[in-house]
Structures are given as structure tokens and as C-alpha cells.
Amino acid sequence: MTFFVSLDQDFPEAFFWFSRTDYKLNLFTGSVILLLCGHFYGQWAGKAILLKRRNPILTGILCGLAVLLSTAFLSGWPGFFREGMDNLGTGDNPFEDYILKPFFWIAVFGFLPALLMGIWLGWRVQVKGSKPARTKH
């Protein structure tokens, strides 16, 4: 977003683009959902990689994409219930505007980063989990 906004603004203004939007609640909710999904899927990935000896790269990729897609789907609902419900039955399609379009664009732009982060985090779980724990004396 910073890159797209900075095309016609200077970098500091573009970097803080989120402070000037009307959808701060959606961004905040999406951030919280992202952290919760990351925690949930991260725990599952850690158990799958360390205890069940699953492939760390594949597990990381699947969990990274699960975090992305779960967050993309769930983060549009607050805006739908807050603003979109008023447009039901009109010419607008609030389900498309608040759920499908954000899901599509988050999935498109987030696919590669989620894939790369999943590979890296799956590998890090395996590396960190294979080292013996240090004890303090």
C-alpha cells in the first residue's frame, strides 16, 4: 500500500496511509485476526513439524496460506456488518464489496509473501526444534 500511495505523495505521508483512512476499524480487526490466526496455525505447525515429523516446508506453506486466507476472509466482516448491511436490497452488493473483493486482493497480493514466509518459518521451526534446550545453572 505504501508503494501505491507514494506514487503521488512523499514517502512519510505514504508510509502512514492507514492513519488517513475511513476504515481504521477494519485494519485493526484484520491485524488482530492475523495475529490470532498466526498463533493458532503456528501452534499447529509446530506440533506437526516437531512431534509428527511432517515436512517443514510443506507444513509452513500450508499454514502460511491458511493464515492469509483465513485473515482475508474474516477481516471483511466487520465492515460488512457496520456499513454493508444498510445497502442490502439496493443496487450495491455489499457481500461482494466487503467480503469477496478484499479477499481476492489480499489473496492475490499476499500469496507470494505468505508462501515465502511459510517456507522460512517452517524451516526455522525445524531448526530451532532440533536443537537441545539450554538450561541455566
**Which residue ranges make up each domain of the chain?**
23-130
When pLDDT is averaged across residues 49-69 and rounded to a whole number, the result is: 95
Polymer length of the chain: 137
Higher pLDDT, 98 or 56: 56
Q: Over 80: is that where the pLDDT of 123 sits?
A: yes
Contact 70, 44 (CB under 8 A): no
d(CA 48, CA 126): 10
Residue 125's pLDDT is what? 94
d(CA 48, CA 67): 16
- pTM surpassing 0.75? yes
38: its cell numbers = 498466526
